[in-house]
Structure 1
Amino acid sequence: MNWLINTLGTSIGKKLMMAITGLCFCCFLVLHLAGNLMLYGGKDLFNAYAAHLNSLGPLLTVFEWILLTLAIIHVLTGATLFYQNYRSRPVGYAVNKRAGGRSLGSATIPYTGFALLAFIIFHLINFRFTDKTNTTIYQIVASAFTDPVYVFIYVAAMIVAAIHVSHGLWSAFQTIGANHPKYMPIITAASIIFSLIVGIGFGFIPIYFTFIS
């Protein structure tokens, strides 16, 4: 047990925790997007999907606690790494070069992470913990997307999520050891494609409710 604690206390250990929790959240994004796509099927389909999730009872609660635990680990570890990097180099580079694979995603990943944390809290307040008396989850979603401010915030957050994932996904694979010249270009391309699916998949939903439905 001591070796595990000592390993996780190192910079490499923290990056490993970031990678594992990040990959878990990418899997969750796939499941969450699949569920959200049912909104296109209308209120009956989406409400039935929501009712099915709620019928899971304790299993859903366990899943939510696992997600919360992963989120705490990811956020605290990320914040710690960000602080350590800042302390080791408090003054930025005089010239910001895009060398060594540096991209918008890699350059902004701590900031997009904090922005996503703020949005997730905002999102949970508006959907997960809102009063559902005499209403349905579909009505709550449809009502939220009649507010242009919320639509703007949601779409902007999905752009941020896409930028975050575009770097985070391939970086996670690199951290766990999939850093091979033959496969990394494929992983990098797949990460960009996945980030576009996330950004467009989630981001188009409020646009659909605003202009199409």
Structure 2
Amino acid sequence: MNWLMNTLGTSVGKKVMMAITGLGFIGFLAGHLAGNLTIYGGKDSFNSYADHLHSLGPLITLAELGLLTLALIHVGTGLLLFFQNWKARPVRYAVNNRGGGRTIGSGTMPYTGILMLAFVVFHLLNFHFVDKTHTTIFEIVSVAFSNPVYVTLYVAAMIVVAVHVSHGFWSAFQSLGANHPKYMPIFQIAGIAFSIVVGLGFGFIPIYISILA
């Protein structure tokens, strides 16, 4: 535990922890999206996917605890960095200079991160921590996305996720020491491509379900 506290005690250490945990969530997003895409195979395919996950029992519980740990470290470290930067520069510059490669993603990371956290809580309450005794996950999803408000909310949330990931993807590699003129453009392009796949992949699902409903 001391090594973690010592690491978080430096600005570089905090960025490294943000990078490691961020890449962990990127891996989760990829896997989660792959599973959710089974919904296009119909309700039986999607329910079979959900049942398979639940059949893993303790492994799923362990994975959920791992994700919770990553979330606590990522969010906590991110907030520490945000407040440290804010304290170091309490007065904003009169001119918002977007030079030096500053993008919408990099300029809004703390805010999109907070919005994503709120969305994750909302998502878990509506799809994970619900009574599934007399229903299936496909029916739960179908009922939720028959509501236009839910559809709009989820699509908006996926746009936020895409913006956050578009910067977080390549920034993670930069924090881990891959800041090389030859390779960074590749990571940046990969980050944008991945963010588009995630945004469209997750964002179109509620629209598709609402059309079927």
2:180 is the alignment partner of 1:195: no
Q: Deviations over 1:137-179 (max 9, x none)?
A: 0100111100111111100000000000000011000000010
- Do the aligned partners of residues 75 and 3 (structure 1) sit closer, same or farther apart at CA in structure 2, a change above 3 Å counting? closer
CA distance in 1, matches of 2:101, 2:12: 20
User: How large is the Cα RMSD of the aligned pairs?
Assistant: 1.2
TM-score of the superposition, structure 2-length normalised?
0.97
Give the structure 1 partner of residue 140 of structure 2.
Answer: 140
Give the structure 2 partner of residue 52 of structure 1.
Answer: 52
Aligned residue type for 2:80: T
Quote the offset at 1:134 in angstroms: 0.6
CA distance in 2, matches of 1:64, 1:191: 25
Q: Deviations over 1:167-203 (max 9, x none)?
A: 0011000000010000101110110000000100000
Percentage of pairs with the same residue? 68
CA distance in 1, matches of 2:142, 2:118: 22
TM-score of the superposition, structure 1-length normalised?
0.97
Unmatched tracts of structure 1, length 5 or more: none
Corresponding pairs, count:
213
Secondary structure of the residue that 1:100 maps to in structure 2?
A: coil
Give the structure 2 partner of residue 124 of structure 1.
Answer: 124
Give the structure 1 partner of residue 29 of structure 2.
Answer: 29
CA distance in 2, matches of 1:142, 1:164: 27
Unmatched tracts of structure 2, length 5 or more: none
Aligned residue type for 2:188: T
Aligned residues of 2:8 and 2:77 also touching (Cα < 8 A) = no
Give the structure 2 partner of residue 173 of structure 1.
Answer: 173
